[in-house]
A = this chain, B = another copy of it.
């Protein structure tokens, strides 16, 4: 059970909720914020002042109202702070800097070629990533902005508590102690004292959509990352669903066909072997294609490519139907490299899901493609740092079981 210590904690929660309100509805006045939140005007005044002093918020210029006095709109301040986000995926690495409203200030993408020749050890890959972080950090600091922290999204499961990256299949990594490997680099860059948050890239994607994308707050928000695997990030209220040991959201290993093809996890007929890169590649008899080769073939529009996409799309629809029935979500967002297939993938998925999901629940759900493309993981990881700075976890205590 959660126990809430004191008034300080309450204020902390309200600060976070206030930032999210302004992210969703910019240009509210203090009076409008008070009306919408049920907080008193004086409480809103204090919270807004604090967040302005810290560089999160700013005032817009006075707006004339048809009735009453002119009012001052409150905005996210995009001029003082920035957050670093990085992604370490099977296909490449990405580093970016974002403002509090999620605007991307700068990015560096690096393709990881794992066709056999190049060898990417965790150490060398992280050193290269740290070099990109340094470049972007230095550049942004020179503009006078202040860095808030670093978020890292990774394409594999993270053990909660230890921050050990369990496995990244295409790179052949296993049990990588990420925090430990990053530590000397963060020291060198003088950011070791700042928050450094590590998240699964699908969890990061869900957080990114919650903060900057579809922003659904009236019900669960699910992010499905479709690529080599199929990952899931699930926001309920303003929290990511972690489960008992941080392993929740493994929707790609939902059994959709008990007699289906084998999955590396040991099961048969998992969603990811029916939907993901492997399914498409084997449909096209291209077992060794990397994601870019595969995408260029799939974009060709020839009949076998269309068939392969239809097939994956329909299974994606079964997965979506199941998730709709379980979560009654406000939004499902499809991201990951294969989301680049766009409507070709989404249309058959939508059709199949509509046939299978409970209609009352499906009609509640907005089903869309992620609009941030290959930046989604790094963007969401940066957003997670911001969210975490104003969330439950950092200031509550969990009583012993």
Output the nearest chain B residue to A220 by Cβ-Cβ distance.
B243
Give Cα distance in the complex from A217 to B358, angstroms. 30
Query: Quick one: given A253-B358, A255-B256, A256-B255, are A218 and B232 in contact (CB under 8 Å)?
Result: no
Give Cα distance in the complex from A220 to B326, angstroms. 14
Query: Quick one: given A249-B326, A258-B257, are A3 and B400 in contact (CB under 8 Å)?
Result: no
- Interface set, chain A 1-39, CB cutoff 8 A to B: 1-7, 9-10, 13-14, 17-18, 20-21, 24-25, 36-39
A209-224 Cβ-contact flags toward B at 8 Å (1 or 0): 0000000011110000
Give Cα distance in the complex from A38 to B325, angstroms. 39
- Interface set, chain A 258-285, CB cutoff 8 A to B: 258, 265-268
Cβ-based interface call for A361 (8 A)? yes
A-B CB contact pairs (8 Å), 22 listed = A1-B21, A2-B13, A2-B238, A4-B10, A4-B13, A21-B399, A217-B401, A218-B401, A220-B248, A242-B328, A243-B361, A244-B329, A245-B360, A250-B358, A250-B361, A251-B326, A254-B326, A256-B258, A257-B257, A258-B318, A267-B355, A323-B326
Give Cα distance in the complex from A256 to B260, angstroms. 12
Find out whether the CB atom of B253 lies under 8 angstroms from the CB atom of A327: no
A231-244 Cβ-contact flags toward B at 8 Å (1 or 0): 01010111001111
Find out whether the CB atom of B24 lies under 8 angstroms from the CB atom of A247: no
A349-381 Cβ-contact flags toward B at 8 Å (1 or 0): 000000111111100110000000000000000
> What's the nearest-Cβ distance from chain B to residue A34, in Å?
10
Give Cα distance in the complex from A286 to B364, angstroms. 38
Cβ-based interface call for A246 (8 A)? yes
Cβ-based interface call for A334 (8 A)? no
> What's the nearest-Cβ distance from chain B to residue A383, in Å?
15
Set of chain B residues within 8 Å of A249, measured between Cβ atoms: 326, 328
Copies of this chain, how many?
Answer: 2
Cβ-based interface call for A330 (8 A)? yes
Cβ-based interface call for A397 (8 A)? yes
Set of chain B residues within 8 Å of A125, measured between Cβ atoms: none
Cβ-based interface call for A77 (8 A)? no
With beta carbons under 8 angstroms apart, the residue of B4, B17, B24, B329 that contacts A14 is B4
Give Cα distance in the complex from A326 to B242, angstroms. 10
Cβ-based interface call for A322 (8 A)? yes
Cβ-based interface call for A204 (8 A)? no
Cβ-based interface call for A309 (8 A)? no
With beta carbons under 8 angstroms apart, the residue of B2, B241, B361 that contacts A17 is B2
Query: Quick one: given A14-B3, A217-B401, are A250 and B364 in contact (CB under 8 Å)?
Result: no
Cβ-based interface call for A345 (8 A)? no
Find out whether the CB atom of B325 lies under 8 angstroms from the CB atom of A251: yes
Find out whether the CB atom of A236 lies under 8 angstroms from the CB atom of B238: no
Cβ-based interface call for A321 (8 A)? yes
